[in-house]
Amino acid sequence: MSSAKDSGHYRCLVVICDLCGRTPDAETDEVPLTWVTSVENGGQRVYCDSCARVHLRSIEAKLDAEWW
């Protein structure tokens, strides 16, 4: 877990896969390059490389994760 300064306050940023709960190996406040981000219903979702590989066709078809 790392912290970032936001308008004078510190906040904790944690990157977690929205499907399996996996976290990146390195502590960082950025999404790893091999991971996929998506915007669904106005919110950002993050998927690890393993989940993204399994659900690639659904992601490319822009299906909401509830359909997977």
Q: How would residue 3 be classed by pLDDT, with cut points 50, 70 and 90? A: very low
Rounded to 5 degrees, what angle do the CA atoms 37, 40, 46 make? 25
pLDDT tens sequence across 6-64:
455 555 567 899 999 999 887 766 788 999 988 888 888 899 999 999 988 887 887 76
The pair of three-digit structure tokens given for residue 64, joined into one six-digit string: 């909401």
**Full-prediction pTM beyond 0.85?**
no
Do the Cβ atoms of 66 and 50 come closer than 8 Å?
no
Q: Which residues contact 33 (CB under 8 A, 6 or more apart)?
A: none
> Residue ranges per domain, the chain?
2-67
d(CA 53, CA 10): 34
